[in-house]
Amino acid sequence: MTVMSPPAASTASQTPSPTVLKITHAAQQFEMFLLSTLLGPVESSFASVPGAPKQPGADELQYLGTQALASGLVAVGGLGIADRIVRSLLKTKMIESSSAAPRG
């Protein structure tokens, strides 16, 4: 799976932290799973001809195709769910780190 870049808040000169990369990857995996779950039934309804016998390995091939489609969609932004999750978690993390900072 191609990893999307972290949110635009980081500039080109900054390298994203390992935490940001982990959050981004996890959010993308979640969106890919969600898309696969949504696309699976849709693809299965169009993938076969009613009354035709099922071919051996058809289910596995259908699963791989759905996974590839979901992965491709997420790589180009998907539904935007992963981006919203990353932004929300980073915002929460920034709030927590600023409130935990010593005040003097």
* Tens of each residue's pLDDT in the chain, 104 residues: 455 555 554 445 588 888 899 999 999 999 999 999 998 888 877 777 777 787 888 888 888 989 999 999 999 999 999 999 999 998 887 777 777 666 55
Domain-located, residue 6: no
Split into its structural domains, the chain has a count of 1
Domain-located, residue 10: no
Domain-located, residue 104: no
Q: What is the pLDDT of residues 1-17, one digit of tens each?
A: 455 555 554 445 588 88
Domain-located, residue 9: no
State how far the alpha carbon of 17 is from the alpha carbons of 20, 22, 30, 42, 103, in Å: 5, 9, 20, 38, 25
Domain-located, residue 51: no
Are 78 and 35 contacting, i.e. CB atoms less than 8 angstroms apart? yes
Domain-located, residue 63: yes
Domain-located, residue 100: no
Which domain, by its residues, includes 36?
18-46+57-95
Q: What is residue 92's predicted lDDT score, i.e. its pLDDT?
A: 85
Domain-located, residue 5: no
Q: What is residue 81's predicted lDDT score, i.e. its pLDDT?
A: 93
